[in-house]
C-alpha cells in the first residue's frame, strides 16, 4: 500500500499532542466511569464505525449558478481516490468511496478496484445518474427518466442502472443507490398516479437485475430540480415504492431532502420499524437541500438521528445494516477539509448516541417521566467525546488533530503543482 501522507508526518504531528490526549482521555474516562460507562468500550465501538465518502465530494461543488475551483482539485476518479485516501488516512473512519456513473467511468474497473485497494480504500454504493443527459445518448431525460412518458427514455434509464450494477460487481459494491430528478414545474404537467406507475414499473426492472446479495436504495427528495412535484418526493413515497418493488429495496435518507423542520429522526425510526431503513446521505441544511457540512448547522438533529440508530441497532427486528455516506457540496472550503471535519462530526454523534443510558431512558419513558427521559439524551449530548475519537484515530494510525495534520502535510499545494487546472463552469452537486 502506498498512502499519500507519510506515516512519519502523522507520527510527528501526533507526538506533539499525545500527552495532552492521554490526560484528556483519562479524565473523561474517570467521569464516564462514575455513571457506569467504560470509556474503552465506547472507544472500541467508535473504532468499528465508518462512513463512506462520495467520489464527487472530492471536487469543489457549486451552486446552481457557478463553481469556483481551487488549485490542486482532482480532475478524474484517480485523483479523487487519492484525495479520499488522505481523508481516510487522517480520519480512519472513511474507508470506502461511493462512485457515480458515468462521472467516474473508466475502461478497466478491475484495475480501478486494485488502485483503490492500494490506497487503503474499498467501494460503497454505486450511484446512477439519470438526471442529466450525456453526450450522444439516444433519449433525453428532460421530461424524466424512470417515470418518463417516453418508453425509450425509460428503457435507457433502466439499462444505465443495470450497467451501474455490473460496474459495481467489478468494484465489489453491494448497493445501488437510485435518485431520479423526475418531477414537474407546473400543476397539470403530469398525472401524479401515472408517473408513479411508470417509475415503479421501470424501477422493478432494475430490481429484477439485482444480484442476490445486493440492495437497491431509493433516495427521495422533496424538490429540485423539479419545483412543483417530484415523483419520489418524501419518505412516504419512498417506503411505498420500496414495499412495492421488493424486499431488498430499501429507503435512503438524505438529511437535506425534506421539508424544513421535518422530524427526520422519527422518519428513521419509522423506516426501521418496517424493515426499510437502507442508508443515509449525511449533510446539513438551513433552508432546503443545501448540502452543507454535516453537523455544521444542526448537530443536535444529527445526534438525535444517531440516537434512533442506536435504538434500532439494539432492537434490530428484521435486521440493521444501514449504509452511511457523506453527501455534501463543498463550495467554499477545501473538500478534503470539509470531509475531515464532517466525518468527525458524524463519528461524534455516533459516539454520543452510544453514551445514552438506554435503561434510564426507557425507564423514564415507561414511567412518563418526561424530564428524566429528556435528560437521559441531554447528558449524552453534552459530553465532549473528542478525546475518544482522537484516541481511536491514533490507535488506527490516524491524526489527533485531522485538520492541523492535513495543513501541515502541504498536500493540496503539492497537488496544485502536479494536477491540471479544473475549468470554471456551472455548478452541479
Ligand atoms: Mn444525496
Q: What global pTM score does this model have? A: 0.97
| pLDDT in the model for residue 334 | 97
CA proximity to 94, closest of 55, 59, 126: 55
Confirm whether 423 is domain-assigned: no
Q: Are 113 and 121 in contact (CB under 8 A)?
A: no
Copy the grid coordinates of residue 240.
Answer: 411505498
| pLDDT in the model for residue 1 | 84
Average the pLDDT over 243-268 and give the result.
97
Confirm whether 280 is domain-assigned: yes
Q: 139: domain range? A: 7-418
The answer to whether residue 337 scores a pLDDT higher than 80 is: yes
Ligand 1: distance of its center to the CA of 418 in Å?
31
Confirm whether 400 is domain-assigned: yes
| pLDDT in the model for residue 62 | 79
CA distance 335 to 273: 35
Beta strands at 96-98 and 53-54: parallel, antiparallel or unpaired: parallel
Confirm whether 61 is domain-assigned: yes
Ligand 1: distance of its center to the CA of 404 in Å?
29
CA distance 151 to 216: 22
Ligand 1: distance of its center to the CA of 29 in Å?
37
Ligand 1: distance of its center to the CA of 253 in Å?
8
The answer to whether residue 277 scores a pLDDT higher than 70 is: yes
Confirm whether 284 is domain-assigned: yes
pLDDT digits (tens, 9 = 90+) for 175-231: 999 999 999 999 999 999 999 999 999 999 999 999 999 999 999 999 999 999 999
Ligand 1: distance of its center to the CA of 221 in Å?
8
Ligand 1: distance of its center to the CA of 370 in Å?
35
CA distance 59 to 329: 9
CB within 8 Å of 330: residues ≥ 6 apart: 57, 60, 61, 293, 338, 339
The number of distinct structural domains making up the chain is: 1
The answer to whether residue 171 scores a pLDDT higher than 60 is: yes
CA proximity to 50, closest of 403, 398, 400, 284: 398
Query: How far is C-alpha 151 from the chain's CA centre?
Result: 32
Ligand 1: distance of its center to the CA of 26 in Å?
38
Q: What are phi and psi of 183, to 5 degrees?
A: 170, -165
CATH number at residue 265: 3.20.20.150
| pLDDT in the model for residue 426 | 55
Ligand 1: distance of its center to the CA of 368 in Å?
37
CB neighbours of residue 147 within 10 Å: 26
CA distance 397 to 47: 11
Copy the grid coordinates of residue 267.
Answer: 422518519
Ligand 1: distance of its center to the CA of 248 in Å?
19
The answer to whether residue 320 scores a pLDDT higher than 70 is: yes
Ligand 1: distance of its center to the CA of 78 in Å?
22
Confirm whether 427 is domain-assigned: no
| CA dihedral of 85, 87, 93, 98, whole degrees rounded to 10 | -60
Ligand 1: distance of its center to the CA of 102 in Å?
16
Confirm whether 146 is domain-assigned: yes
Confirm whether 299 is domain-assigned: yes
| pLDDT in the model for residue 244 | 98
Copy the grid coordinates of residue 390.
Answer: 482522537
Ligand 1: distance of its center to the CA of 46 in Å?
24
pLDDT digits (tens, 9 = 90+) for 26-71: 999 999 999 999 999 999 999 999 999 999 999 988 777 888 899 9
Averaged confidence pLDDT in the chain? 96
Length of the chain: 429
Ligand 1: distance of its center to the CA of 57 in Å?
11
| pLDDT in the model for residue 428 | 56
Copy the grid coordinates of residue 248.
Answer: 431488498
| pLDDT in the model for residue 423 | 72
Average the pLDDT over 304-314 and give the result.
98
CA distance 326 to 53: 5
Copy the grid coordinates of residue 181.
Answer: 430528478
Ligand 1: distance of its center to the CA of 127 in Å?
10
Q: Which residues surround ligand 1, an ion (CB under 5 A)?
A: 254, 281, 327
Residues forming a β-bridge with 100: 127
CA proximity to 201, closest of 150, 168, 154: 154
Ligand 1: distance of its center to the CA of 283 in Å?
8
Amino acid at each position: 500500500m502506498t498512502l499519500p501522507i507519510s506515516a512519519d508526518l502523522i507520527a510527528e504531528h501526533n507526538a506533539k499532542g499525545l500527552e495532552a490526549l492521554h490526560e484528556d482521555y483519562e479524565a473523561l474516562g474517570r467521569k464516564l466511569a462514575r455513571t457506569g460507562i467504560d470509556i474503552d468500550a465506547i472507544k472500541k465501538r467508535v473504532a468499528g464505525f465508518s462512513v463512506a465518502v462520495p467520489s464527487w465530494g472530492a471536487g469543489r461543488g457549486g451552486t446552481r449558478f457557478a463553481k469556483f475551483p481551487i488549485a490542486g482539485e482532482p480532475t478524474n476518479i484517480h485523483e479523487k481516490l487519492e484525495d479520499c485516501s488522505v481523508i481516510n488516512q487522517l480520519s480512519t473512519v472513511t474507508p470506502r468511496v461511493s462512485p457515480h456513473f458515468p462521472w467516474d467511468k473508466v475502461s478497466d474497473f478491475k484495475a480501478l478496484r486494485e488502485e483503490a485497494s492500494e490506497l487503503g480504500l474499498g467501494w460503497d454504493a454505486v450511484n446512477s445518474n439519470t438526471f442529466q443527459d450525456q453526450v450522444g445518448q439516444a433519449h433525453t431525460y428532460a421530461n424524466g427518466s424512470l417515470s418518463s412518458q417516453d418508453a425509450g427514455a425509460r428503457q435507457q434509464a433502466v439499462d444505465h442502472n443495470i450497467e451501474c450494477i455490473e460496474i459495481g460487481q467489478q468494484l465489489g459494491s453491494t448497493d445501488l443507490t437510485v435518485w431520479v430528478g423526475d418531477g414537474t414545474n407546473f400543476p397539470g404537467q403530469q398525472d401524479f398516479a401515472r408517473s408513479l406507475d411508470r417509475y415503479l414499473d421501470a424501477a422493478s426492472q432494475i430490481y429484477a437485475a439485482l444480484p442476490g446479495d445486493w440492495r437497491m436504495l431509493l433516495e427521495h427528495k422533496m424538490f429540485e430540480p423539479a419545483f412543483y412535484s417530484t415523483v419520489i418526493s418524501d419518505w412516504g413515497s419512498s417506503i411505498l415504492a420500496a414495499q412495492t418493488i421488493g424486499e431488498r429495496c430499501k429507503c435512503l435518507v438524505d438529511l437535506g431532502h425534506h421539508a424544513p423542520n421535518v422530524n427526520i429522526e422519527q422518519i428513521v425510526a419509522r423506516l426501521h420499524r418496517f424493515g426499510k431503513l437502507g442508508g443515509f446521505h449525511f449533510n446539513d441544511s438551513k433552508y432546503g437541500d443545501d448540502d452543507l457540512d454535516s453537523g455544521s448547522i444542526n448537530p443536535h438533529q444529527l445526534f438525535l438521528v444517531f440516537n434512533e440508530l442506536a435504538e434500532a441497532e439494539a432492537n434490530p427486528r428484521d435486521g440493521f445494516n444501514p449504509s452511511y455516506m457523506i453527501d455534501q457540496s463543498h463550495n467554499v472550503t477545501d473538500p478534503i477539509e470539509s470531509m475531515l471535519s464532517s466525518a468527525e462530526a458524524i463519528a461524534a454523534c455516533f459516539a454520543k448516541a452510544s453514551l445514552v443510558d438506554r435503561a434510564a431512558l426507557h425507564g423514564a419513558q415507561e414511567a412518563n417521566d418526561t424530564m428524566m427521559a429528556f435528560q437521559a439524551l441531554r447528558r449524552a449530548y453534552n459530553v465532549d467525546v473528542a478525546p475518544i475519537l482522537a484516541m481511536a484515530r491514533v490507535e488506527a494510525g490516524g491524526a489527533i488533530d485531522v485538520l492541523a495534520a492535513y495543513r501541515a502535510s502541504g498536500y493540496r499545494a503539492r497537488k496544485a503543482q502536479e494536477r491540471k487546472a479544473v475549468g470554471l463552469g456551472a455548478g452541479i452537486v
